[in-house]
Chains A and B, each alone.
Chain A
């Protein structure tokens, strides 16, 4: 399933084996946007597939959206504890210390998932 990006919400692409989140996240009302995303994530994780790959590349998120990411990672951890092999790539640009720190904040709580911080090359984007 695809949740298209908007000015204040990221693109989310979910399949039974993968999840991609890319863009910016500071919606008017975080739960209005994130509830369907988390619901769909739960559906995708409930399948029989052994592996699940997550790629997150955010350029900015506000403090309300941090709570969504926290819940999102909790879902992944639960599922990984249940036996699914889950890998998470937290992608950030080399000069983006805010997103690097955010990635490190979440890293500490990830034990069952394999979690990696990945530096990406800057590209023209707006």
Chain B
């Protein structure tokens, strides 16, 4: 395939990733099979560093939840196989790790997701725990547009998380960033 990507773009990609201290990044169609394949290398990357096991496990847990969110909820699919498209990355942050995920969100679910994530940001650990247990007992919310167990679980494990919705030519991009230390 002919492309107009120039050598300097390739170098820029390399420099950008290195500058951000990215350990792992995947962008494209994501499947459960692919997740199985990349799980061990990702874990290996994390244990390679002088990281406490507990921290490495939290990073891995957040990474899995983000990847599975893309697989289940990305609104952008490959044409033939219908696989979900998105980006996940793990980078070294100031005092720990930054785990990022980006995917196109279903326009009908955007408002519900936004509202329930805002709700999560103002809850303390105790409230998150009781919400987690309540969701475990009750199952997913009726309209299924709210934050499921995965987002609550991540909120419990991270030092902080941020999210945003950015308009793009393919629809609204859901951007989720979490810091673990």
Give the Cβ gap from B51 to chain A, nearest Cβ, in Å.
Answer: 12
Report the separation of the CA atoms of residues A98 and B153 in the bound assembly, to the nearest whole angstrom: 10
Give the Cβ gap from A9 to chain B, nearest Cβ, in Å.
Answer: 11
Q: Which of B's residues lie within 8 Å of A, judged by CB?
A: 32-33, 36, 39-40, 52-54, 57-58, 60-61, 64-65, 68, 129, 132-133, 136-137, 139, 148-150, 152-153, 156-157
Q: Which of A's residues lie within 8 Å of B, judged by CB?
A: 7-8, 26, 28-29, 59-60, 62-64, 66-67, 70, 95-98, 101, 105, 108-109
Q: Do A8 and B39 have beta carbons less than 8 Å apart?
A: yes
Give the Cβ gap from A35 to chain B, nearest Cβ, in Å.
Answer: 16
Q: List 6 A-B contacts (CB under 8 A).
A: A28-B32, A62-B65, A70-B136, A95-B53, A96-B54, A97-B54
Contacts A60-B57, A62-B61, A62-B68; A7 near B36 (Cβ below 8 A): yes
Q: Do B150 and A63 have beta carbons less than 8 Å apart?
A: yes
Contacts A7-B39, A66-B149, A96-B54; A105 near B65 (Cβ below 8 A): no
The residue that A95 contacts in the complex, of B39, B54, B64, with Cβ under 8 A, is B54
Given A28-B36, A70-B137, A96-B57, 5 other A-B residues pairs in contact with their CB atoms under 8 A: A7-B39, A63-B153, A95-B53, A98-B61, A101-B156
Q: Do A67 and B149 have beta carbons less than 8 Å apart?
A: yes
- Chain A to chain B: the 7 pairs with minimum beta-carbon distance, closest first: A28-B32, A63-B149, A63-B150, A63-B153, A70-B136, A95-B54, A62-B64
